[in-house]
Amino acid sequence: MVLFSRYAIALAAAALLAFYAAGIDVRRLPAPPAAVTFLDRTGAPLGTVLASDSTHAVAVPLDRVSPWFLEAILAAEDGRFQRHGAVDVRSLARAARDYAVYGQARSGGSTIAMQLARLLHPTPSTLRGKLLQIVEAERIAIRSPKDAILEAYVNRVPMGGNVYGVEAAARTYFGEPASDLDLAQASLLAAIPNDPAHLTPDGGSRGLRERQRYVLDRMVALGDVTRAQAGAALTETLRPRRHDAGIGDAAHALFFLYPRVTGAGRVRTTIDRELQRFVQAQTQAVVDALSAFHVTDAAVLVVDNRNGDVLAYVGSPDYFSDAALGRNDGVQALRQPGSSLKPFTYELALERGTIRSTSILPDVPATYAIPGGKLYQPADYSGRFNGPVRVRYALANSLNLPAVHVLSELGLEPLLDRLHDLGFVHLTRPASFYGLGLTLGGGEVTLWELAHAYTTVAREGSAIPLRLIDDGTGPGATRVGDPSTWSLVTDMLADPHARERSFGHHSVLDLPFDAAVKTGTSSDFRDTWTVGFTRDYTVAVWVGNFDGSAMRGISGVTGAGPLWNRIMLHLHEKREPESLPAPAGFVATTICATTGHAPQRNCPAVVREWVRPADLADVRRPIAQQLGHEYDAWVALQPAGPSSGTLRIVFPHDGDVFVRNPAANALQAGEQQIALRAAGGRHAVRWSVDGRQLAPDSEGVAFLPVRLGSWTIVASDGRSSDRVTVRVEPPAIGERPGFTRRP
């Protein structure tokens, strides 16, 4: 018998330990899904982003809940909360008696722990469901302190509609935190959980006021308040309504921020609500105006250059337009940036001495060998070539050929490293993947990254992160590049005269105050960009289509340019910005536009340019214009040719080596020919190869059949002549035939 008793005791102890081990400590529960209310920089509401399950909830500790509400909710739902365990046997028995006598429960039998159990694990309203609820409540009570149970409950209790918890209810219905609730507000909110589907404060329910009266009467009965206090609370005029509900402004910014601030409750952003509304309206207006050109989408960022604050963030013309794919965020979308990356190529080349401000660059047809036995032949949208151009002219007019030439001299790796330093984190492929087209926008970047990079230019290489929340710490700056070189590039981008060739006089890029600006257009007119800055603000604009379809003849200046112009004028309508500073560390001097040196008597155009003092002596040395072989193809395209009258073979070049295709059939073998071109002569050109005459066509071009060997080519017009020697070789193993080798 004694042995049996010991066995029973041990068994009971083991069962108790097992039950304790299976208990639920509500202090370890994950916080309920939280909604976040966002404010603009002045405290004006922007909107509320609900939790992922569409609930509006905010968790707070008990010490941030008004004592009036805690007393009211206990009076309404569990007056003996502090004096019973998970189950209040007296209340449960009374509820069972009422059900037996009246056919329904006339008083609640569920404790706070039982209600919390149902919130955590919903059960059906059946006898079995109630028993499961009791078991779950016991598991909670055995491991959780009373205060922890109450805190978990008040943060999860349904408060009408998609609002959960006292903090969310207080902010939603009264626009204030739960800690500030007075007795009238607290008793009204404590009335809701009895029937949250019908007792919503913003629904004007008479039943809610009746339930509030019941709550106050219970508080009087429990000694929490006096009858006079209850009467005053009941007669207090309350106008509950939904505060900060839904999304009013900057929807894309709020949804971008939400995962980064979950649980914060209320967040003050850097957004300027009035500016945001203006930019949003202008975005829609410009897209509507361009609709005939198949333009449907746009995105904008406005940044304060002083601190990186994002003042306006428009991800699409209308976030709520599902038909227009409005939920896509054009600020964070990856798109090809077109020519908007060119300034970073020029700055790095100037900084490293690959070029200088007076360098003359070739805007001429050019071919570059690329991996895979292929050739890259960049072109310009205009289809025209300008020949020798200075750096300022090439950058301001966004000429493609000079930019690629500069990058070929600079190297791909240095530019890609610099773009990474500027914050282009999505350029993750090796430099060889992008090739020389990188400077023309061959990668994919976001508008956010582009705005950040141009803000860095505006700050002369002092890079700070863009921010949507001011955490009060102040931006930490890092140095990228040389300040004086950035200021020189800024001066070039702000020069309205230098860009007239491509953009015309008084274009949308020209403002009545100093502003540096750059456009970009991706291949097939799928993306257009305009990014620019004053001393105060950087504005970055993308216009295109989220579905990737091409616009009809819309470029950076005609697509994104008008929107950029409107925003810039609005930002400075009350006060013009300070002028952009002259490039520090440079001095101005006069040069010939075609040589980059001091003008001679026959210089066709004289301009002023900023020059480093160390280069001044060389720049002031006059030289005659000399065109190297890289200009030969361009010279050949000129109708009149050079005015010197001296004949010159422009293709092929002396020493060129060609590879013959041995696998060609008879027809293909006959088509393997080298075009012979000359320029500069004043009379008809006669061609000969190793003394054998070749008949030119009507344009003076002769064709040399591709045969193995070494060949001397002579061109003559009777007054002057030129000669070159070329070789034709069989291809090496694995070599693609037909390409020119350079020794």
Over residues 669-696, the pLDDT tens digits come to: 556 788 888 877 778 899 999 989 999 8
Considering the domain boundaries, does residue 120 fall inside one? yes
Burial of 537 (0-12, 13-18, 19+ CB in 10 A): buried
Name the token pair of 286.
């410009």
Are 518 and 489 spatial neighbours (Cβ–Cβ below 8 Å)? no
Name the token pair of 282.
């202008």
In the chain, the percentage of residues whose pLDDT exceeds 70 is 86
d(CA 230, CA 232): 5
Domain shared by 563 and 539, yes or no: yes
pLDDT of residue 667 exceeding 60, the answer is no
The pTM assigned to this predicted structure is 0.74
Tell me the per-residue pLDDT of 564-593, one tens digit each, with 9 for 90 and over.
999 999 999 999 999 999 999 999 999 999
Q: What is the pLDDT of residue 52?
A: 55
At position 499, the amino acid (one-letter code) is R
Q: What is the DSSP letter of 158?
A: B
Name the token pair of 210.
């009746």
pLDDT of residue 555 exceeding 80, the answer is yes
Q: What are phi and psi of 12, to 5 degrees?
A: -65, -40
Instruction: pLDDT band for 324, please (50, 70, 90 cuts).
Output: confident
- Counting every residue written for the chain, the total comes to 743
Tell me the per-residue pLDDT of 479-490, one tens digit each, with 9 for 90 and over.
999 999 999 999
Q: What is the DSSP letter of 18?
A: H
Domain shared by 351 and 221, yes or no: no
The CATH number linked to 209 is 1.10.3810.10
d(CA 638, CA 128): 94
Q: Please give the full DSSP string across 238-261, using - where no structure is assigned.
A: ------S-SB-S-HHHHHHHGGGS
Domain shared by 43 and 60, yes or no: no
Higher pLDDT, 697 or 671: 697
pLDDT of residue 54 exceeding 60, the answer is no
Specify the residue for token string 């005053």.
Answer: 232
Per-range mean pLDDT, top range of 126-135, 241-250, 656-665: 126-135
Q: What is the pLDDT of residue 632?
A: 75
Considering the domain boundaries, does residue 478 fall inside one? yes
Name the token pair of 319.
């976030």
pLDDT of residue 736 exceeding 90, the answer is no
Q: What is the pLDDT of residue 458?
A: 98
Domain shared by 21 and 73, yes or no: yes
Bridge partners of 517? 532
* Axis-axis angle for helices 447-458, 342-352 (nearest 10): 40
Q: CA–CA distance from 287 to each of 277, 442, 555 (Å)?
A: 16, 26, 14
Considering the domain boundaries, does residue 314 fall inside one? no
Domain shared by 566 and 603, yes or no: no
Tell me the per-residue pLDDT of 466-476, one tens digit each, with 9 for 90 and over.
999 987 776 68
Specify the residue for token string 């000669």.
Answer: 723
Tell me the per-residue pLDDT of 394-416, one tens digit each, with 9 for 90 and over.
999 999 999 999 999 999 999 99
Domain shared by 646 and 517, yes or no: no
When divided into structural domains, the chain yields a total of 5
Closest among 424, 425, 422 to 464, alpha carbons compared: 422
Tell me the per-residue pLDDT of 105-119, one tens digit each, with 9 for 90 and over.
545 568 988 888 888
Q: What is the pLDDT of residue 656?
A: 85
Q: What is the pLDDT of residue 621?
A: 93
d(CA 695, CA 718): 16
The CATH number linked to 659 is 2.60.40
Least confident of 164-178, 275-289, 481-495, 658-672: 658-672
CA dihedral 420, 485, 594, 627 (to 10 degrees): -50
Higher pLDDT, 551 or 671: 551
Q: CA–CA distance from 550 to each of 16, 288, 522 (Å)?
A: 71, 16, 10
Domain shared by 504 and 652, yes or no: no
Distant-in-sequence, close-in-space partners of 705: CB < 8 Å, separation ≥ 6: 670, 672, 673
pLDDT of residue 741 exceeding 50, the answer is no
At position 265, the amino acid (one-letter code) is G
Domain shared by 61 and 45, yes or no: no
Considering the domain boundaries, does residue 221 fall inside one? yes
> Domain boundary residue among 571, 603, 628?
571
Domain shared by 516 and 660, yes or no: no
Tell me the per-residue pLDDT of 72-96, one tens digit each, with 9 for 90 and over.
999 999 988 888 887 877 766 666 6
Distant-in-sequence, close-in-space partners of 195: CB < 8 Å, separation ≥ 6: 207, 211
Give the H or E element holding residue 648. Answer: strand 648-651
Sign of CA dihedral 42, 44, 47, 48: positive
Q: What is the DSSP letter of 526?
A: -
Instruction: pLDDT band for 280, please (50, 70, 90 cuts).
Output: very high
Query: Residue 653's domain spans which residues?
Result: 640-741
Tell me the per-residue pLDDT of 429-462, one tens digit each, with 9 for 90 and over.
999 999 999 999 999 999 999 999 999 999 999 9
Residue 695 has, within 13 A of its CA and on its CB side, a CA count of 2
Long-range CB contacts for residues 322-327, cutoff 8 Å, separation at least 24 = 324/296, 324/297, 325/297, 325/546, 325/547
Average pLDDT value for residue range 223-242: 89
Domain shared by 166 and 217, yes or no: yes
Considering the domain boundaries, does residue 635 fall inside one? no
Burial of 701 (0-12, 13-18, 19+ CB in 10 A): middle
pLDDT of residue 697 exceeding 80, the answer is yes
Q: What is the pLDDT of residue 641?
A: 46
pLDDT of residue 533 exceeding 50, the answer is yes
Considering the domain boundaries, does residue 611 fall inside one? yes
Mean pLDDT of the chain: 86
Q: What is the pLDDT of residue 161?
A: 78
Are 539 and 564 spatial neighbours (Cβ–Cβ below 8 Å)? yes
Considering the domain boundaries, does residue 299 fall inside one? no
Q: What is the DSSP letter of 523?
A: G
Tell me the per-residue pLDDT of 497-524, one tens digit each, with 9 for 90 and over.
999 999 988 899 999 999 999 999 988 8
Measure the CA angle with vertex 599, ends 596 and 605; round to 5°: 80
Domain shared by 357 and 475, yes or no: yes
Q: What is the pLDDT of residue 382?
A: 76
d(CA 368, CA 318): 44
Give the H or E element holding residue 133. Answer: helix 127-143
Q: What is the pLDDT of residue 742?
A: 42
Specify the residue for token string 């040719």.
Answer: 641
Residue 418 backbone class (left: φ over 0; alpha: ψ -120 to 50; beta: rest): alpha
Bridge partners of 363? 387
Q: What is the DSSP letter of 54?
A: S
Considering the domain boundaries, does residue 297 fall inside one? no
At position 308, the amino acid (one-letter code) is G
Name the token pair of 513.
């105050």
Domain shared by 469 and 451, yes or no: yes
Q: What is the pLDDT of residue 740?
A: 45
Are 655 and 743 spatial neighbours (Cβ–Cβ below 8 Å)? yes
Q: Name the percent of the chain in helix, strand, coil, to the closest 5.
A: 40, 20, 45
d(CA 360, CA 368): 20
